[in-house]
């Protein structure tokens, strides 16, 4: 090593030792001999790159790459470094508005995977589904993209277009979608009271906006309870999670005092905290509850569902949830950057970790799903624009158009089930429109939840 660099290295080590000795110990930990060895190696590597590498490197990119590499070595898709722009985007999202297509993603099996689309967004209206694998964004292969990079590319000016290529399970060819970015203003709660059935319905899209969401959810539940309903349905399908505290607060509304809601464990399985139901007077205890979940239900959704399931307070209905059972802390770093770091895992009241497993429903009900042969025909229908051309010529979802569209497909030799034909026709007619709060026509999970409540079978045993 050059003499100047040796001097610089000695000064750096002495400075670090000075900080360790004179800085409060609760904030800075001593550097081990092993760490000191690798810091020296790192310093030399950077020195050689800056002086000898064939191309001149931007220092910011160099050091950011080193930091990202350090965090990626944890092999945890939920821990990540955030640049100034990325940290600002996270803060914007937490406040409930940002520009983009409205999609929650994660990194899994070396791929960008959709957790869920957000209600009433371009992603939802385009038909993007949980477990879709994003393989290209604007023609750029995502193989080497981090989650942060993928999110940054997908966000942009309102009104600008973006192309997304996805690989869907059981589909032979990738699906290419072109979407227009919107200002994503998230309305976390939608609700409706089914007068005929005497059932309250609450759709919670994310556990975000703690104070406002908590107050609104409680207000709706109280209003439903005042009607002496036969039951309440809490729909957490495609809810990717959010704030741990909010999941605890909402669970508390339905649970008796001292029942465990969730326990949190840290490094080496050390118990950090057990969250229990309080003696709040705001509880709703006498109304049957059915909670709807699916593969897009993650994190805080799984805490809520697990708490009510294990304490036999609700029937969980739908399909296996996503399985994100870890807790991230957001650390602000110097120069307006930040870091998300997994610090804990959470466990349901029965002591089960749902990480990479998910919540298993009490009642398994699958959504309407095309058969393998249906999928082959559907690919052709979308690729040849048969559906969009038909709706342009015969707008409206009615008995006449359903019959005409079915006849068109039959004449082409596309023998698809009537239910699937009607489903895609209705969906195409509704593109660009705000979705109904609920629609039982093509929702067997919601239909089953209503049936259980009306038959007095929504009380866990």
Catalytic center residues: 299, 310, 324
Measured from the Cβ of residue 456, the count of other Cβ atoms closer than 10 Å reads 10
* Token representation of residue 64: 């950011």
Rounded to the nearest 10 degrees, the angle between the axes of helix 300-310 and helix 244-252 is: 30
The three-state DSSP-derived secondary structure of 141-182 is ECCCCCHHHHHHHHCCCCCCEEEEEEECCCCCCCEEEEEECE
Q: What is the DSSP string of 238-305?
A: T---B-HHHHHHHHHTTS-TT-EEEEEE-GGG-EEEEEE----TT---SS-EEEEE-TT--THHHHHH
DSSP tag of 32: P
How would you class 445 by CB atoms within 10 Å of its CB: exposed for 0-12, middle for 13-18, buried for 19 or more?
buried
Strand bridging mode 314-318 / 363-364: parallel
How would you class 281 by CB atoms within 10 Å of its CB: exposed for 0-12, middle for 13-18, buried for 19 or more?
exposed
Contact (CB, 8 A) for 320 and 295: yes
| CA pair distance 300, 326, nearest whole angstrom | 10
Cα–Cα distances in angstroms (integers) from residue 169 to residues 46, 113, 379, in the given order:
43, 12, 13
Phi and psi based region of residue 356 (left: phi greater than 0; alpha: psi -120 to 50; beta: remaining): left
| CA pair distance 160, 181, nearest whole angstrom | 6
SS3 382: helix
Contact (CB, 8 A) for 397 and 425: yes
Give the dihedral sign, CA 311/315/318/319.
Answer: positive
* Token representation of residue 360: 């298993």
| CA pair distance 252, 278, nearest whole angstrom | 7
* Exposure string for 185-217, b = 16+ CB within 10 A, e = fewer: ebebbbbeebeebebbbbbbbbbbbeeebbebb
């Amino acid at each position: 090593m050059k003499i100047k660099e040796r001097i610089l290295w000695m000064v750096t080590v002495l400075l670090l030792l000075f900080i360790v000795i004179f800085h409060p110990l609760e904030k800075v930990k001593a550097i081990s001999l092993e760490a000191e060895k690798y810091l020296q190696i790192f310093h030399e590597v950077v020195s050689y790159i800056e002086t000898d590498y064939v191309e001149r490197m931007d220092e910011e990119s160099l050091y950011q790459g080193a930091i990202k590499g350090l965090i990626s070595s944890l092999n945890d898709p939920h821990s990540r470094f955030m640049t100034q722009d990325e940290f600002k985007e996270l803060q914007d999202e937490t406040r409930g508005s940002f520009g983009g297509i409205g999609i929650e993603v994660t990194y899994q099996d070396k791929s960008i995977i959709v957790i869920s689309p957000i209600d009433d967004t371009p992603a939802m209206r385009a038909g993007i589904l949980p477990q879709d694998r994003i393989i290209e964004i604007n023609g750029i292969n995502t193989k080497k993209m981090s989650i942060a990079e993928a999110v940054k590319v997908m966000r942009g000016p309102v009104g600008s277009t973006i192309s997304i290529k996805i690989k869907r399970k059981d589909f032979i060819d990738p699906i290419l979608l072109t979407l227009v970015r919107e200002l994503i203003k998230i309305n976390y709660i939608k609700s409706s009271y089914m007068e005929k059935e005497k059932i309250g319905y609450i759709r919670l899209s994310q556990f975000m906006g703690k104070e406002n969401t908590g107050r609104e959810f409680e207000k709706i539940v109280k209003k439903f309870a005042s009607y002496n309903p036969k039951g309440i349905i809490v729909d957490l399908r495609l809810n990717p999670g959010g704030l741990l505290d909010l999941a605890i607060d909402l669970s508390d509304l339905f649970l008796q005092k001292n029942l465990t809601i969730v326990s949190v464990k840290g490094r080496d399985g050390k118990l950090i905290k057990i969250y229990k139901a309080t003696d709040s007077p705001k509880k709703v205890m006498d109304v049957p509850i059915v909670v709807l979940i699916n593969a897009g239900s993650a994190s805080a959704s799984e805490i809520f569902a697990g708490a009510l399931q294990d304490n036999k307070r609700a029937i969980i209905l739908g399909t296996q949830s996503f399985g994100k059972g870890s807790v991230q802390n957001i650390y602000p770093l110097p120069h307006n950057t930040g870091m998300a770091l997994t610090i804990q895992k959470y466990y349901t009241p029965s002591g089960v970790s749902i990480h990479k497993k998910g919540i298993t429903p009490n009642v398994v009900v699958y959504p309407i799903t095309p058969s393998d042969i249906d999928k082959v025909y559907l690919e052709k229908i979308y690729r040849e624009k048969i559906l969009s051309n038909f709706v342009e010529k015969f707008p409206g979802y009615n008995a006449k158009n359903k019959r005409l569209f079915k006849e068109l497909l039959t004449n082409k030799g596309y023998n698809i089930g009537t239910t699937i034909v009607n489903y895609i026709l209705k969906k195409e007619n509704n593109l660009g429109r705000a979705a109904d709060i609920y629609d039982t026509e093509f929702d067997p999970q919601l239909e089953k939840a209503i049936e259980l409540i009306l038959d007095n079978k929504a009380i866990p045993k």
